[in-house]
Structure 1
Amino acid sequence: MRILHTSDWHVGRTFHGQDLLGDQRQVLAALAELVRRHAVDVVAVPGDLYDRAVPSVDAVGVLTAALGEIRAAGAQIVATAGNHDSAPRLGAFADFLAAGGLHLRTAAAGVGEPVLIDDEHGPVAFYPLPYLEPEVVRRGFGLQGRASHQAVMTAAMDRVRTDLSGRPGARSVVLAHAFVVGAVTGGSERSIAVGGVESVTADVFDGVDYVALGHLHRPQTVTDRIRYCGSPLAYSFNEAGQSKGALLIELDAAGATTATPLPLPVPRPMAEIGGTLAEVLAGYQELVDHYLSVRLTDPVRPLEAMRRLKAKFPYALTLQWEPPAGAGDPDVESFGAAVAAAASDAELIADFLDDCRGVGPSERETAFVDQAIGLARAGAAVGR
């Protein structure tokens, strides 16, 4: 059986205010093309299909279209809820959708009940484990006292192994949304720790042939049979250098697996650049269509820096001013003396601007300050 392992789509996510639905539409369509090209039987999605519990109408449309394209390409889909998803909303009409080849398992009560899909060698039991919040599910799992991620995942896998023991010869795949010890975060994940340790050990997944993990956005191998495929898009500048894609898992008749990374297109690359504003504006022509994080090193904070950057780099998203050591540092004593010696409000504001950015107000700014001070005084006089 050929399984395409993909996760953490986060449909509806924005990136520093930038709408990513167009990028997500493009990369999810590429997943359907991978299904077609590699004759994939099942697409496994272990959580975070949406980025928020109540997705926008447009996000629902993008996800619906993507799932439809994957089904049309010939694969069945097995998916579960992540910590970003609303399990009840995502799992609505699951029984009806299963008849069309979309198997959504999002409720903790259904843990241990497999989705059975046959190939020429017999059945493969897929066990989707939704994100399990310890304090929410501990009673349903019969756990006493305060629960942990390790305890609830152990209880969930005990149910899986119990069911699997009654299916001799069946191969098994677990989908889990979890942080497994030894793995490394990508930089854009939301922590799942609520008053406790969020990680689980890899040995809780003993006894199954393959574990398709979701939650961490960096693709990585925990063991040969326990893997994260990572997110299909970079969602942080920390992820700019990561190779994004999906994993093609081939499961043979004996349950042995091979994993092949399959790259996905990058709709708009990310980059981090730095220098003085003049240097940045004069260079980096090859990055005009990238999402950019810009670090400016001017000794004096440049005026309207982001506006000037966006005139050349329309996808500049973040800006930091990091002057050379000592430059731009506030001189508390001199500013305090200026406050004491200031003859007027206008002088105080001028001294403040000079102290913060290394240059006093321009003529236009001075006129604006004078007008604002006049209006404030007039308002105060009327209030008396």
Structure 2
Amino acid sequence: MKLAHMSDLHLGKRLHEFSLLEDQEYILTQALEIIKEKEVEGVIIAGDVYDKSIPSADAVQLFDDFLTRLAGLGVSIFVVSGNHDSPERVAYGSRLLDPLRIYLSPVFRGDVKPVVLEDDHGEIYFYMMPFVKPATVRKAYPDEEIQTYHGAVKAVIDHMEVDPAKRNILIAHQFVTGATRSDSEDVSVGGVDNVDVEAFAPFDVVALGHLHSPQWVGRETIRYCGTPLKYSVSEVDHIKSLTLLHIGPKGSLDVETVPFRPMRDLRKIKGSYMELTAKESYQDTDTEDYIHATLTDEHDILDAMAKLRTIYPNMVGLEYDNARTQNHQQVGAATDLEKKSPLDLFGDFYEMQNNAKLDPSQRAFMEEIMEEIWEGRS
């Protein structure tokens, strides 16, 4: 069986002040063309369908159109909710859509039943696990002691009672220890949302969402497919693609990636103001791309962003790299902030205010409070 693995569509997302809906519609149409050309039989969407738990009407309409066109290709469709989604909204209409082979993960109540498909090698069991938190799982299994994300995910999987003799695929949206994050992803307190790879031992294939960079973790059958578009400047070097999973007999998996061609790329440019505005520096490039510019001039250029946008209308960021910023260690400051956990940011603030670092007991106290807040987030 040939499956397309997608995740983290983040429909409705904005890149700074720019709406990406047009770019998202373009890339989803491209995904449909690849799915049709490659004769894909099933499509997995592993969470974060939307960028917000209450998505815009335009975002909902775009996903509705995508699902309708996918269904028209006669493929089976599997959708789980991610941490950005409202599970109730993603699950809406699921019982009506099941007969059309559009399977939407229900709100987690403690019971994950597989969807069973068949190919030339027999049955394949698809287990759909929406994004879960310890508090959610404790409510489902009140007699079990569940304190961590790893414990929560392992408890859910243990209750699935997976038959190891069958071919089993898990679709999930969690952060697996050892994977690489991007700046546009949520950062938890002290890695509290980590799930150890051993929790997924019962499965032949684990199709994951949550992280924006395509990668495998622990073993090649546990995979993140990444986002279909670049959603932060930290992703400029990513090659976004559609992941195709070729499922053979038990124990057999071949992976193919088909690169996406975005309507507008996200890229960085660097140089002096005169260099970046010289015709020879941009005439052979797509100036409609989303651009993050770094100016090397020693003096700030008056209204530089507005001036550069006369050439690069979709500029998303501007910074300086010169002697002044290097001396004051200002280059990349915003990026550094995005990479820090909330606990580290609080520690920096405390040190700035009190001219002293958090001591171990203070840090442990703040970490405990932040973990409770993180776990309780809707």
The alignment's TM-score, normalised by the length of structure 2, stands at 0.81
Are 1:202 and 2:201 counterparts?
Answer: no
Give, in whole Å, the separation in 2 of the partners of 1:326 and 1:49: 39
SS where residue 311 of structure 1 aligns? Answer: coil
Structure 1 distance, partners of 2:220, 2:80, is: 22
Aligned to 2:226: 230
Q: Counterparts in 2 of 1:163-242, with a 5 A limit?
A: 164-165=162-163, 169-191=165-187, 193=188, 197-222=192-217, 223-242=219-238
Aligned-residue offset at 1:76: 0.9
RMSD between superposed Cα atoms in Å = 2.0
Which residue is 1:150 aligned to?
A: 150
Moved more, 215-224 or 117-126: 117-126
Pairwise CA distance, 1:121: 2.8
**Which sits farther off after the overlay, 110-119 or 237-246?**
110-119
SS in 2 for 1:61: helix
How far is 1:42 from its partner?
0.9
Matched residues, percent identical? 33
CA drift of 1:91 comes to 0.5
Question: Alpha-carbon deviation of 1:194?
Answer: 5.8
User: Per-residue deviation at 1:143?
Assistant: 6.0
Hey, what's the Cα distance between the residues in 2 that align with 1:133 and 1:120?
37
Whether 1:141 aligns to 2:137 is no
TM-aligned CA deviation for residue 239 of structure 1: 0.8
Q: How far is the alpha carbon of 1:88 from its aligned partner?
A: 0.5
1:261 counterpart = 2:260: no
CA contact (8 A) 1:172 1:255 kept: no
| CA offset digits 1:164-196 (Å, max 9, x no partner) | 23xx753110011111112111331123x3686
Q: What whole-Å deviation, never above 9, does each CA across 1:336-371 have from its counterpart, x for those lacking one?
A: xxxxxxxxxxxxxxxxxxxxxxxxxxxxxxxxxxxx
Check conservation: 1:3, 1:42, Cα contact below 8 A: yes
Q: 1:111 to 1:265 in 2, by over 3 A?
A: farther
Larger Rg: 1
| SS of residue in 2 equivalent to 1:224 | strand
> CA distance change for structure 1 residues 84 and 326 in 2, over 3 Å: closer, same or farther?
closer
CA 1:196–1:257: 2 relative to 1, 3 Å = closer
Q: Relative to structure 1, is the Cα distance of residues 80 and 213 closer, same or farther in structure 2, using a 3 angstrom cutoff?
A: same
Task: Show structure 2 runs of 5+ residues with no match.
Answer: 329-378
Residues 54-88 of structure 1: CA deviation (Å, up to 9, x unaligned): 11111111111111111112211011000000001
State the distance in 2 between where 1:236 and 1:327 align: 23
Residue 9 (structure 2) aligns with: 9
Inter-CA distance 177–142: structure 2 relative to 1 (3 Å threshold): same
Partner Cα distance (2:192, 2:181) in 1: 15
Change (3 A) 1:328 1:150: closer
The structure-2 alpha-carbon separation of the partners of 1:302 and 1:154, relative to structure 1 and needing over 3 Å to count, comes to same
Q: What is aligned with 1:18?
A: 18
Name the structure 1 match of 2:351: none
Per the alignment, in what secondary structure is the counterpart of residue 138 of structure 1? helix
Tell me, yes or no, if the aligned pair for 1:219 and 1:229 is still in contact at 8 Å.
yes
Contact 2:236 / 2:266 at 8 angstroms: preserved in 1?
yes
Q: Which structure ranks higher in relative contact order (CA pairs < 8 Å, sequence separation ≥ 6)?
A: 2
Q: What code does the residue aligned with 1:127 have?
A: Y
Q: Deviations over 1:234-264 (max 9, x none)?
A: 1011111111112111111334211111222
The residue aligned with 2:315 is 316
Q: Gaps spanning 5+ residues in structure 1: where?
A: 330-384
8 Å contact from structure 1 (residues 111, 129) kept in 2 = no
- Once the two structures are superposed, what CA deviation does each residue of 1:9-36 show, in whole Å capped at 9, x if it has no partner? 1111000111100110011111211221
Deviation at 1:276, TM superposition (A): 2.2
Residue 373 of structure 2 corresponds to none
Q: Does the aligned pair in 1 maintain the 2:166–2:250 contact within 8 Å? A: no
Distance (Å, rounded) in 2 between the aligned partners of 1:326 and 1:76: 53
8 Å CA contact retained: 2:110, 2:141: no
CA distance in 2, matches of 1:36, 1:65: 16
Match for residue 340 of structure 2? none
Contact 2:46 2:207 survives alignment (8 Å): yes
CA shift, 1:110, in A, is 5.3
Within 5 Å, give how 1:1-384 maps onto structure 2: 1-109=1-109, 111-142=111-142, 147-160=147-160, 162=161, 164-165=162-163, 169-191=165-187, 193=188, 197-222=192-217, 223-282=219-278, 283-285=281-283, 286-325=285-324
Alpha-carbon distance between aligned partners in 1 of 2:128 and 2:118, rounded to the nearest angstrom: 17
Cα distance in 1 for residues equivalent to 2:200 and 2:255: 18
Letter aligned with residue 244 of structure 2? L
After the TM superposition, list the runs of 4 or more consecutive aligned residues in structure 1 that deviate by more than 3 angstroms.
Answer: 142-146, 325-329
Provide the C-alpha distance between the structure 1 equivalents of 2:172 and 2:246, rounded to a whole number of angstroms.
19
The equivalent of 2:370 in structure 1 is none
Cα distance in 2, alignment partners of residues 327 and 264 from structure 1? 36
Out of 278-287 and 16-25, give the one that drifted further.
278-287
Query: Aligned with 2:323: secondary structure?
Result: coil
Q: Per the alignment, do residues 124 and 303 of structure 1 end up closer, same or farther by CA in structure 2, a change over 3 Å counting?
A: same
Query: Compared with structure 1, are the counterparts of its residues 277 and 170 closer, same or farther at alpha carbon in structure 2 (3 Å cutoff)?
Result: same
**Residues 182-239 of structure 1: per-residue CA shift (max 9 Å, x gap):** 2111331123x36861111111000211000110010011112111111111101111
